[in-house]
Chain A
Amino acid sequence: MEPNGPPRLIPYRVKGFETELGFWVLNTGRFPQHDELQVTANAARRRELVQVLLLTAGFLVLVAISAASILFVDRARDDSSLVVHTVEVENQIAAVLLELRRAESAGRGYLLTSEPRFLTQHDTALANILGNVRHLRELTLDNPVQTRNSDALQAAVETRLNEFRETIAFAERKDQQGGIAQLRAASAEDTVHRITEISNAMRREEDRLFAARTISADRSQQWASTVTIAGSGLVVALAALSIFLVRRSSRARDDAEAQLRDSNINLEETVATRTTDLREANEEIQRFAYIVSHDLRSPLVNIMGFTSELEELRGDIFKRIASLSHPGTPTALSGDDASVPVLAEQDAKLSEDFNEALGFIKSSIGKMDRLISAILHLTREGRREFQPVPVDLRELIDGIAATVAHQAAEADAQIRVQPLPTIVSDRLALEQIFSNLIDNALKYLRTDVAGDIAVSGRTKLGFAIIEVTDNGRGIDARDHQRIFELFRRAGPQDRPGQGIGLAHVRALVRRLGGTLSVSSELDAGSTFTVTLPVKWALGRQGQTP
């Protein structure tokens, strides 16, 4: 049994697992960051919790192993020292017995030869014996049985020493015969026997203790190694579980990444398909609007035509009625309007009703025709291909201002054009957008103040922001969305118009990849803000052939 074996072995093993755990901690710390990116937050949180629990469990097991190891190592050390102690006691007993033999034989040698060499040996042995016996007694102080035994041994040894002294005394008197007789007489049989018995008893006791202590030391060692092996196994299991979890979540992350990549690719395809679908749907609507409005026109021509024919007929009919009711006045049915026939009061009323009915029919047809024309115009605009070219907005709007200069002068209004950016876009569409906005501004000015229309612009993040501001009658906040709808108008309806301009402008701005918005208050003027990409390219959104 090596007393120093276990204390070295256990900390070394524990340290080994600390390294294992260190690796594990590193992974645990890194993994939730990836996890949070890919997996749902709940799953990530749960997994993180599991990781923390595993980590804590691992630490607890390690602490337990360390504590148990220290405990068992201490116990093993105690056991070992007790074993050593037993061996020491046995050694001491042997030493006492050996010195006794040496003293005895040296004494006998001196008696026989009277050589002082033997006397010196005898004296040295005697001096050692007492020291040894005392030491033995000190060693056995912890055990009352052995203390009693060593006391008895001491007594026996002292008796024996007295016998030695007597023998030496005979030798010094040169009474060799007396000495031998004394040796024979006393023969020290009793004392020697006693010493042997006592030392044997002590040896037996120490043997018993040795066996018991060895078993105890073995048990401590066994416990220590069992605890270490079990704890190590547990740590290994936790580490394996942790590695498994890390592997699993990294696999989940890889899967999610692959899925993300796939869905990115799919997304582009989906967007392309949807765009095509939308474009087709838009074309379908355009065609539909065109055909419908076109075909509506045909019957309208008939309605209008025959209404006009009826109007012609009306003249003839009432002339005829007049001639019938006044047979005296000859009236030719030539349709000559110069000679208006004089009608009876009742007939005049009939004629008025007739005119009124015809008037409503004709004005309604006129309105319907204008609406249909507007739709046709819009669909035709919608079908026009846009051509992106560089356009100096300042120059373009100056041109528009010049064409409406006459109207502006009539309305007592000024148009101020501030520096504007140059953008790449469709020139005709831009002209329509800004001439509509400026026309509107001129159309809905207030009559009590001089009109002031300002066009200003700036660029921001690849977009040109152009504002058309007026000090006109303004638009109620309720109508801010309505004004952009087709055939919808806001405010007093005292100006001609179909409610098409802004709908058209918004459609154009959208096709050019921009936005149109209004901010306005009643009686406080309006600001229309057009946001257009500085560099519009064909094939982006809004390309509706």
Chain B
Amino acid sequence: MSKPVTIIMIEDDEGHARLIERNIRRSGVNNDIKPFTNGTDAIRYLFGADGSGSVHKDEALLVLLDLNLPDMSGIDILRRVKENAHLKCAPVVVLTTTDDAQEIKRCYDLGCNVYITKPVNYESFANAIRQLGLFFSVIQVPQAET
């Protein structure tokens, strides 16, 4: 484990991003968090200029993903990440407002590791994110395959 885990946060709502980051920090997670506010930028970063994803080999990534993005559906990003040879091992946490049962099932079918619904109640929200932070601090994240 040469490099610490980088958290890729794909969240179009900057307010949400700020709240998520704050609560992750409060749980004691100090890893790099790279925020993206739209799908296109996130894809470009994740898969690199050549689209193969090989830019991240030897890196450990964790993706925090919102499903409602302005330019594409988070589900497309999830599918592409899980289909990519280099990125498929990276844990993907879907964090979204949708609590539709079909949507949740679909995400897990596509290989999502954790699905969390953003509660409007802030205490629940903060609680969920802090627990997620605790989860981050204990899970083992593999490096991207070469």
Binding site for B on A (CB under 8 A): 294-295, 297-302, 304-309, 365-366, 369, 380
Contact = CB atoms under 8 A, between A and B. Distances in A.
Interface of B: 13, 15-16, 19, 22, 68, 97-98, 100, 118-123, 125-126
B13 to A, nearest CB: 6
Contacts of A299: 13, 15
Contacts of B100: 380
Given A294-B97, A298-B68, A304 B122 contact: yes
23 contacts: A294-B68, A297-B97, A297-B118, A297-B120, A298-B68, A301-B13, A301-B15, A301-B16, A301-B120, A301-B125, A302-B13, A302-B19, A304-B120, A304-B125, A305-B19, A305-B122, A306-B15, A306-B19, A308-B122, A308-B123, A365-B120, A369-B121, A380-B100
A167 B84 CA distance: 173
Contacts of A302: 13, 15-16, 19
- Residue among B19, B97, B118, B120 having the largest count of chain A Cβ atoms under 10 Å: B120
- Residue among B15, B122, B125 having the largest count of chain A Cβ atoms under 10 Å: B122
Nearest to A308: B122
A401 B13 CA distance: 46
A223 B127 CA distance: 123
B94 to A, nearest CB: 15
Nearest to B119: A301
Contacts of B19: 301-302, 305-306, 309
A301 B126 contact: no
B35 to A, nearest CB: 15
Contacts of A300: 120
B125 A294 contact: no
Nearest to B117: A297
B76 to A, nearest CB: 18
Nearest to A311: B122
Contacts of A295: 68
A332 B13 CA distance: 35
A299 B121 CA distance: 12
A369 B98 CA distance: 13
A59 to B, nearest CB: 83
B98 A294 contact: yes
A366 B122 CA distance: 10
B126 to A, nearest CB: 7
Nearest to A307: B122
A298 B97 CA distance: 7
A298 B16 contact: yes
A308 B126 contact: yes
Contacts of A307: 122
A302 B125 CA distance: 11
Nearest to A370: B120
B125 A305 contact: yes
Nearest to B129: A305
- Residue among A297, A299, A308, A309 having the largest count of chain B Cβ atoms under 10 Å: A297
B13 A298 contact: yes
Nearest to A372: B120
Contact of A304 (B13, B22, B98, B121): B121
Contacts of A380: 100
Contacts of A366: 120-121
A294 B99 CA distance: 10
A369 B120 contact: yes
A455 B68 CA distance: 46
A380 B22 CA distance: 33
Contacts of B15: 299, 301-302, 305-306
B67 to A, nearest CB: 10
B5 to A, nearest CB: 25
A302 B13 CA distance: 9
Nearest to B123: A308
A461 B119 CA distance: 49
A317 to B, nearest CB: 18
A306 B17 CA distance: 12
Given A300-B120, A301-B118, 16 more contacts: A294-B97, A295-B68, A297-B118, A298-B16, A301-B19, A301-B119, A301-B122, A301-B125, A302-B19, A304-B122, A305-B15, A305-B125, A306-B19, A365-B120, A369-B120, A369-B121
Nearest to A365: B120
A393 B121 CA distance: 39
B103 to A, nearest CB: 10
A64 B137 CA distance: 122
Nearest to B120: A369
Contacts of A365: 120
Contacts of B121: 304, 366, 369
A301 B90 CA distance: 27
A306 B125 CA distance: 12
A307 B125 CA distance: 13
A8 to B, nearest CB: 101
Nearest to B121: A304
B38 to A, nearest CB: 15
Contacts of B118: 297, 301
Contacts of B16: 298, 301-302, 305
**3 pairs of A and B residues whose beta carbons are closest in the complex:** A302-B15, A308-B122, A369-B120
A141 to B, nearest CB: 128
